[in-house]
Amino acid sequence: MTDAGLYPSYVDLDPFIDTARLRSLDGYITERLERRLAEDLAFYTGPFLLDGTAPHLPGSKLVYLSRSSEPENYYDVDRTDLWRPSEEAGEFAELMAFIDTLPFKAKGRMIIMYDREGSAVSAHRDHDSVDLCHEFVWFRTNLDKPFYMLNPHSGEKLYVHSHAAWFDTVNQYHGGDATGALSFSIRVDGIFTDEFRSRIPFPAANRASAPALWAERQAAEA
């Protein structure tokens, strides 16, 4: 771990995306996720419940908008040659069209993370390889779910106030508070365009800290 970079922090990517278009997808995505939830519910309980006690239904789910040709491996999220749009991508065609406007020259894993109950997401790191910097855009159509970055040394939390963000997933933690209602966010991994990359202060060591260095630079300029 390094002292360089700002923690907790995130890079606000709203200036680089069409937030009005993103917000306009809120109902479109919600409707489709609710339809999937209704199908999942039927799958988990069957049509005949013995009594009124519903079984525990897993809350947190993923919709894969792209699929890898290789077995599941977290370190493949940015191996863009492996990933192809999934069947579900057709169901979320308007979201896919929005994703095409993001600053990527190639895209890898694309997922919708959703939770029917809006449960809390425990603070976590995504991996522990400090030399690995995943280029991704995390985004959401509404600001309902409290989502935060956490400095593991100080315990300080910083809530994300933007629709879209890029953040250090290795040298700090991130998590979410409960909302009690359907919540979702989307993450697209890939390779940023050269133009977008030229803005990023990639460090020689601890490359995972690049978003924290960028956030530090932005804070200094503000």
Interface residues toward Fe ion, by CB under 5 A? 126
- 66 vs 172, beta carbon nearer Fe ion: 172
- 152 vs 217, beta carbon nearer Fe ion: 152
- 23 vs 61, beta carbon nearer Fe ion: 61
Minimum distance from residue 126 beta carbon to Fe ion (Å): 5
Whole-number Å distance between alpha carbons of 149 and 126:
12
Minimum distance from residue 110 beta carbon to Fe ion (Å): 15
Minimum distance from residue 209 beta carbon to Fe ion (Å): 16
- 91 vs 113, beta carbon nearer Fe ion: 113
Which residue has the CB atom at the shortest distance from Fe ion? 126
Minimum distance from residue 124 beta carbon to Fe ion (Å): 6
